[in-house]
Structure 1
Amino acid sequence: MVRALTDAPGLELLPVWTDPLYVALPAGHPLAHRPALDLADLADLPLRLAPREDNAPFHDLITGACRKAGIEPPSGPPFTTFQETLTDIGVGAPSWTVFYEVAGLPELPRVTVARLVAPAMTTFLAVRPGPPVPAVRHLLEALSRTT
């Protein structure tokens, strides 16, 4: 299982499920009242993103989506840990970050979380190319019923 990866030479990527992405930004920012945001809405606000070497597929997903949306947000301080980054967003200079839900959406004072309209993040099952073996087909069917 791999997330956000779009190419895996020698493997076929079978989509299993898709997770929405979320934006965290200062609660006092003019965009904070919106339940969902487009990347274009965030074009002028510094983006806090982990260095590419820390998570290349996710980094590429976000930077590629920004390019596709025709924006290049200014770089903010790097994403460090989830808790530290969100705390800095709440008390520091205005900036934003993007993340996917792991164990519920965070609730922090002075930080607002909004759903990002696009992109979403797909989780794939990486398999050898060719027709899926019956066990893989059954696994994918079972997963599609639970998501």
Structure 2
Amino acid sequence: MLVDLPLTARLNALRQGEIDLALAREVRSAPGLRVLPTWTEALFAVVSTRQPAAGRAVVGVAELAAGPLKTSQDHDPSVLSALPDVGLQGPPAHRAGTVHDRIVEVGSDPRSWTVLPADQVIEIRSTRVRAIPLEPRTTIAGSVVVPGDLPCACAAAHVTAFGDGTAA
């Protein structure tokens, strides 16, 4: 069964034996658990098709920083922390409810933008936005998190199942 929980709740559920493993981005360690680097994911800027950068092959965060960065209640904090430091003013006071809501907001405002990992970009169905690779290429690491006492063979099987061969 798949469970969609915020990261802290996911790790706590794993510690309590309520779930067997957790998938997490940018987690380096977690007390009582083993964090196994498993995949690497590219980040993309998502902009309105009316945004001047929409026609470009790649875009830098600094080029978008003047416009409002849209986030949502379920925005993965590791995505924002992976962005280059270009003087972003931090998350806006208003946050969309979900990633889908954020896509709608970006599509309706040619100045706004957001950042999504590759696995969420492939789910975008809107024709009002465009996902553009970030320049320089920006990635986040994904890990399988397992109980500390899980046998190594089981842990290795989980890494194989979810891995892309790029994680260290």
Distance change (3 Å), C-alpha of 1:15 and 1:65? same
Fraction of identical pairs, as percent: 23
Corresponding position of 2:134:
116
Distance change (3 Å), C-alpha of 1:13 and 1:80? same
Q: Which amino acid aligns with 1:135?
A: C
Corresponding position of 2:42:
20
Aligned length: 141
Q: Deviations over 1:61-110 (max 9, x none)?
A: 233234x4232146444232333322222223621111232482424233
Spell out the pairing of 1:1-147 with structure 2 (5 A cutoff).
1-6=22-27, 7-51=29-73, 54=74, 58-59=76-77, 61-66=78-83, 68-73=84-89, 75-76=91-92, 77-92=94-109, 94-100=111-117, 101-102=119-120, 104-117=122-135, 118-128=137-147, 133-141=152-160, 143-144=162-163
Distance change (3 Å), C-alpha of 1:131 and 1:97? same
Q: Which amino acid aligns with 1:112?
A: R
Distance change (3 Å), C-alpha of 1:36 and 1:73? farther
Question: Contact 2:43–2:115 at 8 Å: present in 1 too?
Answer: yes
Gaps of 5+ in 2: 1-21
Gaps of 5+ in 1: none
Q: Which amino acid aligns with 2:68?
A: P
Question: Contact 1:44–1:74 at 8 Å: present in 2 too?
Answer: no
Distance change (3 Å), C-alpha of 1:42 and 1:9? farther
For CA contacts below 8 A with separation 6 or more, give which structure has more relative contact order: 1
TM-score, structure 1 as length reference: 0.72
Question: Contact 2:72–2:102 at 8 Å: present in 1 too?
Answer: no
Distance change (3 Å), C-alpha of 1:127 and 1:105? closer
